[in-house]
A and B are shown apart, each in its own frame.
Chain A
Amino acid sequence: MAKPGIDLATLSDQDVVLQARDGRQAAYRELVRRYERPIFSLIYRMVRNREQAEDLSQETFVKALNAIESYRPEYKFSSWIFKIANNVSIDHLRRRELDTLSLDGSPHALTPEAIQASALQLGDRQETALEELEAKELGGEIEQAISTLRPEYRACILLRHVEGRPYEEIATMLDLPLGTVKTYIHRARGELRQALAHLRQ
């Protein structure tokens, strides 16, 4: 519970973190309220699956808030939580890449029945309401173009142009050299320009 008279919504992130460290549950909730949409949006655009994005966003907040004592106030709280979100997303994408089944069936399937059972069935699937929502939300040309970028480029371009973060902050968040961040963003812009060229014409 917040101290009487303190309006958490008016405090800076750093001050809200101090309140959270004092054990005020309302301060934790305030941090979730401030960042749930930006964090969820970043992760959703990274993994392009609502359900997974929800899980990964939760994981991000749980990790950050349970380690609130290790947050160093000389850095921006937003950089810290975006860094965690990016790490969570990239880890997930790597795992997903490893888990992806071949269209011809699982490489571990030994019998023809097992191969058929594990093969992805194309054409007979029903689109769920969630998938419909995803198709609507991420179906725009720009969203499609972003999805074709490499995950590293995607993270950089989203942080730069959607979140409006400066290059230096992105480099800190992603543990990358500044030059690499600039290169990734320039290449991502080039690929997006190409993908969206028909819109300009």
Chain B
Amino acid sequence: MTDLIATHLTPDELDDWLAGSLARNREAHLHGCADCRRLADADRALAHLLGTLPLFSPAAGFGDRVMARVEVRRRARPMAVAAALAAGLLLPMAASVGWSLANPDTLAQLLQGAGSGISGFGVATVRSLGSTLLAQPWYPWVRGLFESPARLGLVFGATTVAYAGGVLVLRRLMALPMPRVAHVQG
């Protein structure tokens, strides 16, 4: 405590004194130390002088000159965007439902026709793909891999390792050093 009372005020403590928040034991030092008192008084006078400096005004029409170079933009309001999206989705849906209710027979015919057409196309595609696959020269070899549990496990393990390796490589590639984002610059 004695040491603290004997030590001169630090710049931070001078700030505290200017702000009226200097610790009591340091106040005691200030009262007894002519050097610190002189420094504190000078700082107070300086702060007062700086605080009374006038503000200057730019030339008349400053605001107009600024506004001539500012692009005033109207921000899209979230509610308006949501309403537009809702209208864009709901109106066609409502029209579709309305038409369906008014024309149930036509709708049923259309659905039936479309359903049979789609299913016929699907079956033909699957058959074609199946026969093409069976005709491939490597098909028996691939099929052989799935004939014993040991081979199946080996294939599964190798596939998993290859997949994990690929993911790791991709992550590595995607984690290239990013440029630093600049602060709002003057």
Q: Are A87 and B42 interface neighbours, CB within 8 A?
A: no
Interface size of B by Cβ–Cβ distance < 8 Å?
A: 36
Is B3 engaged at the interface, CB distance under 8 Å to the other chain?
Answer: no
Q: Are B184 and A162 interface neighbours, CB within 8 A?
A: no
Q: Are A63 and B74 interface neighbours, CB within 8 A?
A: no
Is A170 engaged at the interface, CB distance under 8 Å to the other chain?
Answer: no
Known: A23-B75, A41-B56. A182 touches B12 (CB 8 A): yes
Q: Would you list which residues of chain A between 1 and 53 have a CB under 8 Å from chain B?
A: 20-25, 28-29, 32-33, 36-38, 40-41, 44, 53
A-B residue pairs in contact (CB < 8 Å), sample of 13: A22-B77, A32-B67, A41-B54, A58-B62, A61-B66, A67-B184, A83-B184, A87-B185, A90-B186, A162-B50, A182-B12, A193-B42, A196-B46
In addition to A21-B75, A62-B66, 4 A-B residue pairs with Cβ atoms within 8 Å of each other are A22-B74, A32-B63, A54-B62, A62-B69
**Binary CB contact string for chain A from 85 to 118 against chain B (1 if under 8 A, 0 otherwise):** 1111111000000000000000000000000000
Q: Are A189 and B43 interface neighbours, CB within 8 A?
A: yes
Q: Give the interface of B toward A (CB within 8 A).
A: 11-12, 15, 39, 42-43, 45-47, 49-51, 53-59, 62-63, 65-67, 69-75, 77, 183-186
Q: Are A84 and B184 interface neighbours, CB within 8 A?
A: yes
Q: Are A157 and B50 interface neighbours, CB within 8 A?
A: yes
